[in-house]
Amino acid sequence: MSPAQVFRFALAGLAANKLRSALTTLGILIGVGSVILLVAVGNGSSQSVQNAISSLGVNAITVLHTGGAVGGSGPTSSTTAFAEPQNLTTADGQALAQAQGVASVSPAVSTSVTLTYGASSDTASLTGTYPSYFPAEDDTLSAGSSFTAQEVNTAQDVVVLGSEAASDLFGTANPVGKSVLVTGVPFTVVGVLATKGASGLTSADNTAVAPLTTVQDALTGFGTLNDIVVLAKSAAVVGTVEGEITSILDRRHHETAADADFEVLNASTLLSTASSTAHTFTVLLGAVAAISLLVGGIGITNIMLVTVTERTREIGIRKAIGATPGVILAQFLTEATLLSMIGGALGVLAGIIGTRFTIVGVKPVTVPLSIPLAFGVSALIGLFFGGFPANRAAGMRPADALRYE
């Protein structure tokens, strides 16, 4: 009995119940397709986060305020022995500017605002800061100009719009010189930022930047800053500058590392945090997909058991006219493996087609290894999950099988 002949019998067996074969194949198709697609989505989101973070500029160090009341006048009482969390202030910023190796310091507050121009409005994130913020964040302007330090000192109502915020409000018209309402306060648009692209699930372009003093005056009040962006003179001194920032702020806030009310981050630490998060995300997505592949495999066992029972008499006939247990085993194993491999091949195709679309804002990036892996696992699933029913068929006693109605 040649392998080609076994293969032909298996094909005929599958063709005998096309709907059932197609549905079983669908189970594997979905499993393999989702492994490839979900791993690609995880990978794609990890890459876009990494791109966004590296676009921050490697020399930038961000001091984040943690703990304490943001925007309030500071804590009023404390029963703990720890130093009370203090506000991050412009005075802290001035102190940091004295440190060695610092090129610029940009204190910043941020808040969510509604931008309105005529009938169109848009919710965006507004940052109040100094002009040095733009080079520190690697922002460039596509139209108009930045505001000046003079405008910050005199608290002028000027704003620079992110590219997405600008197009949402003005369409293709030039916004420079127009007046927009920022949560009801009129601001004059002086410039538009160049597009930066998505960072993870949020857009880095749906933003607005205005002078720190103006934003504090009109919107956030004079509480704590949200962060201070410190630009080091070169990548080589980033580590030293980070150490200095920590010791200056610890001294100013009378704190130790244990109860610090601030956090110092740079692009590389953000990057490693983000990529480990993204890795976990990818593994989780892959695991969910692997479970669906397993369920598809159990579907194969189920349907092959039904097939074997249904064809008991046929198995009896084949055995009576000389089919050995090995040949029967081979036929049913081949049927199961064919089901899973056809499903696997279609799943690879579906997965690859799926990765061409943007899914929940993420452009999937295929992990090449996931394709042979998912396909190989699907073939093994056919062998493994088809083995039990095939063995049952091969072990049937011909006299009993022939009597089966």
Bridge partner list, 60:
231
Phi, psi of 14 (to 5 degrees): -70, -40
Who's near 41: CB < 8 A, 6+ residues apart? Answer: 285, 359, 360, 362, 364
320 binds other proteins (CB under 8 A): yes
313 binds other proteins (CB under 8 A): yes
1 binds other proteins (CB under 8 A): yes
Smallest distance from the beta carbon of 322 to other proteins, in angstroms? 2
**Nearer to other proteins (CB atom), residue 254 or residue 397:** 397
| Sign of the alpha-carbon dihedral angle for 365, 371, 377, 381 | positive
**Nearer to other proteins (CB atom), residue 95 or residue 306:** 306
Smallest distance from the beta carbon of 314 to other proteins, in angstroms? 6
Binders of other proteins: how many residues, by CB under 8 A? 24
Smallest distance from the beta carbon of 316 to other proteins, in angstroms? 8
397 binds other proteins (CB under 8 A): yes
Contact segment (CB under 8 A) with other proteins among 52-60, 260-268, 269-277, 319-327 equals 319-327
Can you tell me which of 275, 325, 350, 373 binds other proteins, judged by CB under 8 A? 325
**Nearer to other proteins (CB atom), residue 152 or residue 394:** 394
Is residue 99 within 8 Å of residue 248, measured between CB atoms?
yes
Smallest distance from the beta carbon of 2 to other proteins, in angstroms? 7
Contact segment (CB under 8 A) with other proteins among 62-70, 161-169, 258-266, 316-324 equals 316-324
306 binds other proteins (CB under 8 A): no
**Nearer to other proteins (CB atom), residue 251 or residue 313:** 313
Intra-chain end-to-end CA distance of the chain, in Å: 28
Can you tell me which of 235, 287, 298, 399 binds other proteins, judged by CB under 8 A? 399
Residues 45, 363: Cα–Cα separation, whole Å: 7
| Sign of the alpha-carbon dihedral angle for 382, 387, 392, 393 | positive
**Nearer to other proteins (CB atom), residue 4 or residue 369:** 4
Q: What is the DSSP letter of 391?
A: H
317 binds other proteins (CB under 8 A): yes
327 binds other proteins (CB under 8 A): yes
**Nearer to other proteins (CB atom), residue 252 or residue 392:** 392
Smallest distance from the beta carbon of 309 to other proteins, in angstroms? 16
Lookup result for tokens 């009023």: 76
3 binds other proteins (CB under 8 A): no
**Nearer to other proteins (CB atom), residue 221 or residue 325:** 325
Q: DSSP assignment of 333-368, as one string? A: HHHHHHHHHHHHHHHHHHHHHHTTS-BTTB-----T
Is residue 234 within 8 Å of residue 174, measured between CB atoms?
no
Can you tell me which of 12, 194, 236, 287 binds other proteins, judged by CB under 8 A? 12
Measured from the Cβ of residue 364, the count of other Cβ atoms closer than 10 Å reads 23
Instruction: Using CA atoms of 266, 269, 274, 279 in order, give the dihedral in degrees to the nearest 10.
Output: 160
Residues 293, 312: Cα–Cα separation, whole Å: 29
Can you tell me which of 326, 361, 372, 376 binds other proteins, judged by CB under 8 A? 326
Q: DSSP assignment of 241-279, as one string? A: HHHHHHHHHHHHHT--GGG-SEEEEEHHHHHHHHHHHHH
Can you tell me which of 323, 336, 338, 346 binds other proteins, judged by CB under 8 A? 323
Contact segment (CB under 8 A) with other proteins among 86-94, 172-180, 296-304, 394-402 equals 394-402
Q: DSSP assignment of 68-105, as one string? A: S-SSSS------SSSPPP----HHHHHHHHTSTTEEEE
Residue 82's identity, in one-letter code, is F
Smallest distance from the beta carbon of 296 to other proteins, in angstroms? 26
Residues 274, 292: Cα–Cα separation, whole Å: 27
Can you tell me which of 67, 101, 221, 398 binds other proteins, judged by CB under 8 A? 398
Can you tell me which of 324, 358, 361, 372 binds other proteins, judged by CB under 8 A? 324
16 binds other proteins (CB under 8 A): yes
Instruction: Using CA atoms of 26, 31, 33, 37 in order, give the dihedral in degrees to the nearest 10.
Output: 150
Can you tell me which of 258, 322, 357, 368 binds other proteins, judged by CB under 8 A? 322
Residues of the shown chain interacting with other proteins in the complex, contacts defined by CB under 8 A = 1-2, 5, 12, 15-16, 313-314, 316-327, 397-399, 402
